[in-house]
Amino acid sequence: MNQTSKVLIVGDIVCSYQQEGSYLPYLEKIVDSTNFVFVKPTGAEGCLDINNLLNHLPDWLADQPDVIILHIGFAETIGKRRGLVIPSSLEDCKNQFENIRKILSASLTRKVILILPHPLMSDLSEQEPVDSSINQDIATFNDWAKRTAKYYKIDAIDCYKKFHQWGLDQSLVANNFGITEKAAKRIANVILKALDKWRTEDQASPETPYDRELDYQNSQLSDFFTRYGRLGLQAISKQTNLDILEISDIVYRSEHRDAINIFRPHMLSPWTLDIVKSELVDNLAYIKLQSGRVFYGYSTGQMMLNLYELLKQFLPDIVHPACFRLAIDVSNRYQQAIKQCPTSLLSSLKGGTIFEVGAYLGFKSIRFAEFVENNGKVVSIEVLPENFEIMDKNVNENSLNHTVKCVNKGVWNQSGFIGLKGIGRQANTLVDIEQKQKYKPICEVATDTLANIMDDYSIDVVDFMNLQVMGAEIEALEGLRDRLNSVKILRIVCPFSREGNRTYEICRQMLTEAGSLLLKQSNENVIYAVTRNFSHEFKADLL
């Protein structure tokens, strides 16, 4: 961007140019050689309090800055001592934010706003005369401010934990709201990084108009919707082309309004399915697709029924309410299954062998069977007996018995029996994993090793093994023994921790020591690996 961009920095006391300890001089020095110019606020002597900020903001905006860096925070005790009007509670601070945002919305044509919620009183609860009760609201406010900022297309830089880590001088803060030179430079660099990001994006699409301000009609609506609720409103708006304000009002007045806050983007996926029939059959949800594929599954629970009732106001009734959960599962497991295979592997799957370990109701296995075709083989392993029964029914109803082999066992490092624990029908495990909810004993199940199961079905090579066993992936790998290198590609879902250790790290080490190499598709929770004997076939995919 060749032209100079105006940057206005406003906020509460630490932002004052006249204030001892302000980091603004450091920020100006750092960006002195860039195409940014700082617009200094005028008309407010010394520190800025909430009244000064609200009174003078319209005048400062008359200079039409391209970027506004807005600081918000609250500190009651010291503010009062200095004769300032400072928000003294969480609600006061939220109201301050909303009032300022409305002024910005009315005055700016270019919606590029950076907000830095910052609690200057962090970690000062032992120092007098700081009011420690104020500290209790800081984290809550910052979480709220970040969610709200994201919704309104505002970049939020959270310095909550960083001030103390960067060398916050507690005595300076307690007396003057000052910060050390080291901390000032670090903060200035964070701001500069955000400015550079904005400038880069502006260069990439200089003619792209900014999204119009998304607004709620009152603060109650703003506080009601969680991050997922906001995503839900946006997704419905995109799907239906309805105004988001209209949708939010309808949702808020609905008796099922709380359901919007459990929304996830994939919950709109049933409306992408070519469903020709959906009903309850023998207490199971049943769906038939236009392709002829049929699926059985569990009926929709009450919470998801509430979400369905909420969504159906905006979208066509294409599925029986009791089948809503099944429709989501079919869309995300059957339709999306093949995306879990590396692209370079797809061409060689015809006539090949796939292992799905942790197959649930077999939806992915049905999709895998379509790729290996009649001469291939899919071994679907599911530990929970009631899931296995439905999986077996799905395989039979789709006439895939010849291709899909269903196994009702848990994979382990030895054959035998072990207690299964969990919550519901999906979150169950053979091991103790760290989780928020307490897992309860379910039943005792038979176990076997993957090496034994490969031998049982006379399998020499597995082209793709999808391993999703809720924390037992270590024992599952141990159970492969010397057959590990008979597997081409492994996909291991491992976001779990056991006794403080992430199973991801342990599995990665086990694979590396065996000569396996990670693929580019790996992320922090999922390992994609090619074993030693086949690494030459997937050089382009190596990490």
Cis peptide bond N-terminal to 316, omega within 30: no
Distance CA 373, CA 100 (A): 62
Q: Is-contact 378 457, C-beta < 8 A? A: no
Q: Which residue has the tokens 């009007």?
A: 85
Instruction: Give residue limits of the domains in the chain.
Output: 5-204, 227-333, 336-541
pLDDT at 365: 97
Burial class (CB in 10 A: 0-12, 13-18, 19+), 338: middle
Q: Tell me the three state secondary structure of residue 358.
A: coil
Least confident of 58-72, 347-361, 457-471: 58-72
Give the burial class of 4: count Cβ atoms within 10 A of its Cβ; 0-12 exposed, 13-18 middle, 19 or more buried: exposed
User: How confident is the model over 13-29, as a mean pLDDT?
Assistant: 52
In which order are the strands placed within the sheet that holds 526-530?
Answer: 404-407, 377-381, 353-357, 462-467, 487-493, 526-530, 517-518
Residue 414 has pLDDT above 60, yes or no: yes
Mean pLDDT of 514-543: 92
Q: Which residue has the higher pLDDT, 268 or 132?
A: 268
pLDDT at 347: 81
Tokens found for residue 404:
């899909």
Name the more confident of 442 and 376: 376
- Region 59-86: mean pLDDT is 59
pLDDT-derived band at 130 (thresholds 50, 70, 90) equals: very low
Give the residue-averaged pLDDT of 420-428: 74
Per-residue model confidence (pLDDT) at position 346: 84
77-81-87 Cα angle (round to 5): 50
Which of 6, 244, 212 lies closest to 109 in space, CA to CA? 212
The pLDDT of residue 428: 72
Q: Alpha carbon of 197 to those of 162, 201, 247, 251, 447: distances in Å?
A: 20, 6, 32, 35, 53
| pLDDT score, position 260 | 86
Phi, psi of 22 (to 5 degrees): -65, 145
What pLDDT, in 10s, does the model give residues 430-449? 877 766 566 777 889 999 99
Q: Which of 25-39, 336-350, 370-384 has the highest mean pLDDT?
A: 370-384
Instruction: State pLDDT tens for residues 320-359.
Output: 999 999 999 999 899 888 888 888 888 889 999 999 999 9
Q: Is 408 or 335 the better-scoring residue by pLDDT?
A: 408
Count Cβ neighbours within 10 Å for each residue of 77-96 and write b for 16 or more, e otherwise.
bbbeeeebebbbebebbbeb
CATH number of the structural domain 5-204:
3.40.50.1110
Determine the pLDDT at residue 128.
36
Tens of pLDDT along 309-323? 888 887 777 789 999
User: For residue 72, what pLDDT is reported?
Assistant: 57
The CA distance from 468 to 127, in Å, is 50
Q: DSSP state, 299?
A: P
Does the pLDDT at position 289 exceed 80? yes
Residue 212 is predicted with a pLDDT of: 32
pLDDT band at 169 (very low <50, low <70, confident <90, very high): very low
Tell me what percent of the residues of the chain surpass a pLDDT of 90: 34
Helix (H) or strand (E) holding 110: none
Q: How far apart are CA 426 and CA 299, in angstroms?
A: 14
Q: What pLDDT, on a 0 to 100 scale, did the predictor assign at position 375?
A: 93
Give, in words, the CATH class of 336-541: alpha beta
